[in-house]
């Protein structure tokens, strides 16, 4: 059995340290230097010959971090690593997973090709924007689920009149899975966009009168959709509205939108570092989840026990 070594890119060292600690190892020694023009150059400062190497890097903001991860994978392969697994807690460009209008890129497929061409033997990620992205890879992909983090948290809240809501039609399956787990009902907030990050209209499909609503989504960017949905749900008679989203992208006026919204709280994970603290934002860690998945992969055991 080959030795396991865990390394981190510049963007995820805060999370990689926690994952390595949960796994029971120290982070490996890796230097990520830059030339004056911004060109990146990763270098392993210890032997990884014959080792199973896990490279942890979320790809947000995506461009530099994706390239940095590809260079790390290439360096590991050229240093004779036995296997290279790219651990991508947040997979950037996942929102571009199909041609929904003429003459656009399917960026998620392009990124999948780049990672495979760089030499990755395996991908490990969490809550992809669309499940079908798994099929874009011709190598094994472990798709972890944020429900393992959120379900215990929601159970501790012990909400009396719990109901789940999807902030858009595309997230119905995600919300339905939570509703089934808690044996409660669900509703849908049907939205129409003018353009990216701008909502033209929204309506609620279902009854939320007197309910404690939990909005479920995979990521929150500008928070416009969640805040609009929370406002509408309160207007329809909801007692409380909170949101659980795995990836806190939180760009633009997201913090301002959330703090001025009708949301009781926004619960996210640490797949992406929080830019600044907020009274309405609670962060749960995925470190233990990923550490257990790495143990399962290296021990050739099933990861199905990690799913709720």
Domains in the chain: boundaries: 4-145+287-306, 147-284
Question: 1 pLDDT exceeds 80?
Answer: no
Question: 199 pLDDT exceeds 80?
Answer: no
Q: How far apart are CA 238 and CA 218, in angstroms?
A: 22
Tell me what pLDDT residue 190 has: 83
Residue 287 is assigned to a ligand binding site: no
For residue 135, report the phi and psi dihedrals to the nearest 5 degrees: -75, -10
Residue 129 is assigned to a ligand binding site: yes
Instruction: 180-183: list long-range contacts, CB under 8 Å, 24+ apart.
Output: 181/147, 181/151, 181/308, 182/154
User: Quick check: 143 and 123 in contact, CB under 8 A?
Assistant: no
Provide the strand spans (E) within the chain: 4-8, 30-34, 40-44, 52-56, 83-88, 122-126, 141-144, 162-166, 186-195, 198-205, 212-220, 240-248, 266-269, 281-284
Instruction: Please name which of 105, 120, 115, 133 lies closest in space to residue 218, comparing C-alpha atoms.
Output: 133
Q: Which residue has the higher pLDDT, 202 or 233?
A: 233
Average pLDDT, the chain: 93
Would you name the residues annotated as active-site residues? 191
Tell me what pLDDT residue 223 has: 94
Tell me the pLDDT tens digit for each residue of 13-47.
Answer: 999 999 999 999 999 999 999 999 989 999 999 99
Domains 4-145+287-306 and 147-284 share a fold: yes
Furthest CA-CA distance within the chain: 61
For residue 23, report the phi and psi dihedrals to the nearest 5 degrees: -75, -30
Tell me what pLDDT residue 169 has: 84
Tell me what pLDDT residue 100 has: 83
Tell me what pLDDT residue 266 has: 98
Please state the three-class secondary structure of 16-30 as a single string: HHHHHHHHCCCCCCE
Helix (H, G, I), strand (E, B) or coil at 232: helix
Q: Which CATH class is domain 4-145+287-306?
A: alpha beta
Tell me what pLDDT residue 196 has: 59
The segment with the largest mean pLDDT, out of 54-68, 180-194, 246-260, is 246-260
Residue 96 is assigned to a ligand binding site: yes
Tell me what pLDDT residue 69 has: 97
Residue 224 is assigned to a ligand binding site: yes
Tell me what pLDDT residue 8 has: 97
Tell me what pLDDT residue 305 has: 79
Q: How far apart are CA 93 and CA 91, in angstroms?
A: 7
Tell me what pLDDT residue 307 has: 79
pLDDT confidence tier of residue 63, bands split at 50, 70 and 90: confident
CB burial of 65-81 (b: ≥16 within 10 Å; e: otherwise) equals bbebbbbbbbbbbebeb
Question: What share of the chain in percent tops pLDDT 70?
Answer: 95
Give me the mean pLDDT over the 242-252 stretch: 96
**Segment among 93-107, 141-155, 195-209, 285-299 with least mean pLDDT:** 195-209
CATH architecture of the domain covering 147-284: 3-Layer(aba) Sandwich (3.40)
Tell me the pLDDT tens digit for each residue of 131-164.
Answer: 899 999 999 999 999 999 999 999 999 999 999 9
Question: 55 pLDDT exceeds 60?
Answer: yes
pLDDT confidence tier of residue 306, bands split at 50, 70 and 90: confident
For the CA atoms of 24, 29, 30, 33, what is the dihedral angle to 10 degrees? 140
pLDDT confidence tier of residue 200, bands split at 50, 70 and 90: low
* 107-118 vs 62-78: helix crossing angle, rounded to 10: 20
Tell me what pLDDT residue 220 has: 96
pLDDT confidence tier of residue 101, bands split at 50, 70 and 90: confident
DSSP 93: T
Helix (H, G, I), strand (E, B) or coil at 300: coil
pLDDT confidence tier of residue 166, bands split at 50, 70 and 90: very high
Residue 39 is assigned to a ligand binding site: yes
């Amino acid at each position: 059995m080959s030795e396991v070594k865990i390394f981190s890119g510049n963007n995820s060292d805060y999370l990689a340290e926690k994952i390595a600690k949960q796994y029971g190892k120290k982070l490996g020694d890796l230097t990520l230097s830059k030339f004056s023009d911004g060109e990146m150059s990763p270098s392993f400062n210890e032997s990884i010959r014959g080792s199973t190497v896990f490279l942890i890097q979320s790809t947000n903001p995506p461009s530099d971090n994706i390239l940095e991860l590809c260079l790390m994978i290439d360096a590991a392969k050229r240093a004779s690593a036995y296997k290279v697994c790219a651990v991508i807690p947040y997979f950037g460009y996942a929102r571009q997973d199909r041609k929904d209008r003429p003459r656009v890129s399917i960026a998620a497929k392009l990124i999948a090709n780049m990672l495979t061409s760089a030499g990755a033997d395996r991908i490990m990620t969490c809550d992809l924007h669309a499940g079908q992205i798994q099929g874009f890879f011709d190598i094994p992909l472990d798709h972890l689920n944020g429900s393992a983090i959120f379900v215990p948290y929601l159970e501790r809240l012990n909400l009396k009149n719990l109901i789940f809501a999807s902030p858009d039609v595309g997230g119905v399956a995600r919300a339905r899975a939570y509703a089934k787990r808690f044996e409660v009902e669900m509703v849908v907030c049907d939205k129409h966009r003018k353009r990216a990050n701008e909502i033209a209209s929204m309506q609620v499909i279902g009854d939320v009168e007197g309910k404690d609503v939990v909005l479920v989504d995979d990521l929150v960017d500008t928070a416009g959709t969640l805040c609009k949905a929370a406002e509408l749900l309160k207007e329809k008679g909801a007692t409380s509205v909170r949101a659980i989203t795995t990836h806190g992208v939180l760009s633009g006026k997201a913090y301002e939108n959330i703090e001025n919204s009708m949301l009781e709280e926004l619960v996210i994970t640490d797949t992406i570092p929080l830019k600044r603290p907020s009274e309405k934002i609670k962060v749960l860690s995925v470190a233990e989840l990923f550490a257990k998945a790495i143990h399962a992969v290296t021990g050739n055991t099933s990861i199905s026990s990690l799913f709720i």
